[in-house]
């Protein structure tokens, strides 16, 4: 059965009930709800709530991911660090509580719990019931972000979930007793939206190390770019200092970016005995840019006299500068929050990254020749082509030479090529196509003379971006296809040419979204047919160890909507996750139909992740 004037493969009709199939052939299409269709088509993908569509009792939500290395270890001790209920917190200050590390020994600790720790994990637990949208949240310790997360959307019976993240790299802060742990979660509670998010946070401390064999290159992971030659283990200790690049904290420590013109920065003086610097950037996107990867160009909007604010095209690049000069950039991973596109897809498994948003690292060691002059320097962050609104902040990780008060450094910058960006738009009225291709490569080199010798650090980064958006059927059918290929490498070489450290990450993260808007059977309703396919594939090399992640998610379904409330619908989500490194292997595959798990298989067998 075909949708009028559209290829049959645009839809998976097996997920549609007979009533909707009949609706597809209705001659009322194009005659009724025309204005409604135009308005919903130009705004899809969109955000919705499905609280009124109650099909299940209270249950746990989750995001597929790898087990933490510390999961294999006995817990030394734990510390409850935050308990709070986020009710009507919109436009209010964040919640803060004092933090102190665990004492060396107590009745709650089965082992000595004094630092240093081999691992520290953060466990975030939340529960909620009622009507509520998804909300963005973050945790900061002394202004340094530890976790960027979003909430699941609750129902009247209630839901709960937890997020576990390794935070060992923040150990220099975790040993201090003069800091506050701060959480921001802006929520709205009134007669309609009744859900209150109850949150608890616990830190888990471990003293033992995971046993691992000598570094080697697995035959399964080897390729011409990740060959493991000239490598040896260089233990990466957590940074000695972590300096936040943040807002003042009155509304959370993140900067709110309303446009490309918003370019916040902070003046920071780098210690003279610094031997390494890495900037860690946290990013999330909201408002008119929540679905930035599907935004049409402004000319399409103005030509058709549309009122949507979702413009500026479908390309975004987050970037970092030092004293106004570009030192790195990324096309962010397109995280879909739990109210996005079709909330029925994200019950109980959420989209990739929704509970633990990725952060992005930029190696700034090649710039120490410029930074070690006793003067403060400006570290800035921003979003190319961004519109309202983005939430950004950064952490500056600094390693010191404890055997010297001063190190010497010199920077040798390669020419920074301008981004290669091509846009093409062809449309007539509400139908058309929009294509974007972009690529950038950056290379920076600098040497540092410290007590351990003269080491040259080379940082290279490149990515390729392609985007295609198509509108059809008077703009009521929309297809989005985006691909990002990113490759980042850090190499440290001794004076004699021996490579002492090499890290490399190759990431691929495509996303495809299809939405088709149809008239609904009920008054002031419409039917939205939705397909979402996205994945994160990564090969990484670090200190002689190789790892691979393959996370793939495919969701198909439809929903009947009034305003932004889902009245009925069906959803089918299939996901597979595989991880392998020198510590072992892990895989998990799930199937979900209408919020119920139909398949859930996991394995620690390496053959299943090959």
Instruction: List pLDDT tens digits, range 549-589.
Output: 999 999 999 999 998 899 999 999 999 999 998 778 999 99
Alpha-carbon span 555 to 532, nearest angstrom = 5
Alpha-carbon span 580 to 221, nearest angstrom = 9
Residues 279-302 have a mean pLDDT of: 98
Which has the minimum average pLDDT: 213-217, 263-267, 296-300, 340-344? 213-217
**Residue 116 in 3-state DSSP?**
coil
Instruction: List pLDDT tens digits, range 410-435.
Output: 998 777 778 999 999 999 999 999 99
Residues 54-81 have a mean pLDDT of: 88
pLDDT of residue 550: 97
Instruction: List pLDDT tens digits, range 361-376.
Output: 999 999 999 999 999 9
Residues 499-526 have a mean pLDDT of: 94
pLDDT of residue 111: 63
- Find the helix or strand (DSSP H, E) in which 42 lies: helix 34-43
Torsion of CA 213, 215, 218, 223, to 10 degrees: 170
The number of helix segments (H) and strand segments (E) in the chain equals 5, 30
Both structure tokens of 262: 């918003």
Instruction: List pLDDT tens digits, range 499-509.
Output: 998 999 999 99
Which has the minimum average pLDDT: 215-219, 308-312, 416-420, 600-604? 215-219
Alpha-carbon span 318 to 360, nearest angstrom = 10
Pairing between β-strand 159-166 and β-strand 59-61 as defined by DSSP bridges: parallel
The proportion of the chain whose per-residue pLDDT surpasses 70, expressed as a percent, equals 86
Alpha-carbon span 310 to 518, nearest angstrom = 21
Label residue 235 by pLDDT band (50, 70, 90): very low
pLDDT of residue 571: 97
Four-residue CA torsion sign, 64, 66, 72, 78: negative
More confident residue, 124 or 44: 124
| pLDDT > 90? residue 516 | yes
Instruction: List pLDDT tens digits, range 33-54.
Output: 444 455 555 667 888 888 656 5
The proportion of the chain whose per-residue pLDDT surpasses 90, expressed as a percent, equals 77
pLDDT of residue 108: 52
Helix intervals (H) in 87-236? 171-174
CA 56 to chain centre: 28
Alpha-carbon span 546 to 504, nearest angstrom = 9
Which distant-in-sequence residues (6+ apart) come within 8 Å of 374 by Cβ? 269, 272
| pLDDT > 60? residue 282 | yes
| pLDDT > 50? residue 10 | no
| pLDDT > 60? residue 88 | yes
- Residue 447 contacts residue 410 (beta carbons within 8 Å): yes
| pLDDT > 70? residue 394 | yes
More confident residue, 141 or 609: 141
Instruction: List pLDDT tens digits, range 154-175.
Output: 999 999 999 999 999 999 999 9
- Residue 543 contacts residue 215 (beta carbons within 8 Å): yes
| pLDDT > 70? residue 83 | yes
pLDDT of residue 527: 96
pLDDT of residue 208: 86
Instruction: List pLDDT tens digits, range 453-487.
Output: 999 999 999 999 999 999 999 999 999 999 999 99
Instruction: List pLDDT tens digits, range 300-349.
Output: 999 999 999 999 999 999 999 999 999 999 999 999 999 999 999 999 99
Helix intervals (H) in 396-505? none
| pLDDT > 80? residue 213 | no
Q: What are the angstrom distances between the C-alpha of 350 and each of 41, 149, 248?
A: 24, 12, 32
pLDDT of residue 427: 97
pLDDT of residue 9: 31
Alpha-carbon span 371 to 268, nearest angstrom = 10
- Residue 566 contacts residue 343 (beta carbons within 8 Å): yes
Q: What is the per-residue DSSP string for 511-577?
A: EEEEEEEEE-SSTT-EEEEEEEEEEEEEEEEETTEEEEEEEEEEEEEEEEEETTEEEEEEEEEEEEE
Category of 324 on φ-ψ map: left (φ > 0), alpha (ψ -120 to 50) or beta: left
Which has the minimum average pLDDT: 80-84, 115-119, 217-221? 217-221
Four-residue CA torsion sign, 309, 310, 312, 316: positive
pLDDT of residue 55: 59
């Amino acid at each position: 059965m075909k949708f009028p004037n559209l290829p049959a493969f645009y839809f998976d009709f097996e997920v549609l009930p007979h009533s909707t199939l009949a609706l597809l052939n209705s001659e009322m299409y194009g005659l009724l709800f025309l204005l409604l269709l135009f308005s919903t088509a130009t705004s899809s993908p969109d955000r919705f709530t499905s609280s009124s569509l109650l099909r299940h009792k209270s249950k746990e939500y989750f995001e597929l991911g790898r087990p933490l290395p510390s999961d294999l270890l006995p817990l030394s001790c734990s510390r409850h660090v935050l308990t709070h209920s986020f009710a009507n917190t919109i436009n209010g200050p964040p919640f803060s509580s004092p933090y102190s590390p665990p004492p060396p020994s107590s009745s709650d600790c089965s082992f000595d719990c004094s630092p240093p720790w081999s691992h520290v994990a953060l466990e975030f637990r939340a529960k909620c019931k009622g009507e509520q949208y998804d909300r963005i949240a973050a945790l900061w310790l002394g202004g340094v972000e530890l976790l960027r997360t979003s909430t699941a959307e609750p129902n009247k019976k209630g839901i709960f979930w937890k997020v576990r993240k390794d935070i060992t790299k923040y150990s220099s802060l975790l040993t201090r007793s003069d800091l506050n742990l701060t959480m921001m979660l802006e929520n709205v509670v009134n007669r309609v939206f009744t859900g209150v998010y109850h949150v608890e946070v616990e830190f888990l401390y471990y003293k033992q190390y995971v046993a691992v064999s000598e570094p080697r290159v697995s035959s399964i992971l080897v390729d011409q770019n990740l060959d493991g030659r000239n490598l040896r283990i260089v233990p990466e200790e957590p940074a000695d200092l972590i300096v936040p690049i943040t807002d003042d904290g009155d509304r959370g420590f993140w900067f709110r970016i309303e446009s490309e013109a918003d370019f916040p920065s902070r003046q920071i003086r780098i210690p003279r005995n610094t031997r390494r610097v890495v900037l860690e950037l946290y990013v999330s996107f909201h408002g008119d840019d929540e679905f930035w990867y599907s935004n049409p160009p402004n000319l399409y909007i103005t030509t058709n006299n549309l009122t949507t604010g979702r413009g500026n095209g479908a390309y975004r690049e987050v970037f970092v500068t030092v004293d106004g000069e570009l030192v790195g950039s990324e096309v962010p991973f397109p995280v879909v929050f739990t109210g996005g596109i079709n909330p029925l897809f994200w019950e109980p498994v959420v989209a990739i990254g929704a509970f633990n948003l990725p952060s992005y690292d930029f190696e700034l060691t090649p710039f120490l020749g410029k930074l070690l002059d006793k003067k403060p320097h400006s570290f800035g962050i921003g979003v190319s082509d961004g519109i309202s609104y983005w939430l950004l902040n950064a952490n500056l990780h600094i390693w010191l030479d404890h055997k010297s008060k001063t190190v010497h450094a010199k920077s040798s910058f390669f020419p920074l090529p301008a981004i290669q960006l091509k846009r093409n738009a062809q449309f007539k009225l509400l139908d058309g196509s929009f294509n974007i291709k972009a690529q950038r490569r950056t290379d920076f080199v600098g040497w540092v003379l410290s007590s351990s010798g003269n080491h040259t650090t080379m940082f290279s980064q490149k990515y390729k971006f392609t985007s295609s958006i198509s509108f059809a059927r008077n703009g009521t059918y929309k297809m989005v296809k985006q691909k990002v290929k990113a490759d980042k490498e850090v190499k440290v070489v001794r004076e004699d040419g021996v490579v002492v450290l090499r890290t490399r990450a190759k990431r691929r993260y495509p996303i495809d979204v299809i939405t088709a808007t149809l008239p609904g059977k009920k008054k002031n309703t419409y039917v939205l047919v939705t397909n979402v396919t996205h994945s994160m594939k990564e090969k990484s090399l670090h200190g002689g160890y190789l790892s691979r992640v393959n996370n793939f998610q495919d969701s198909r379904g439809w929903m009947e909507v009034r305003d932004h409330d889902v009245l009925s619908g069906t959803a089918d989500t299939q996901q597979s996750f595989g991880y392998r490194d020198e510590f072992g292997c892990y895989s998990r595959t799930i199937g979900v139909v209408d919020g119920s798990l139909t398949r859930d298989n996991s394995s620690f067998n390496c053959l299943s992740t090959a």
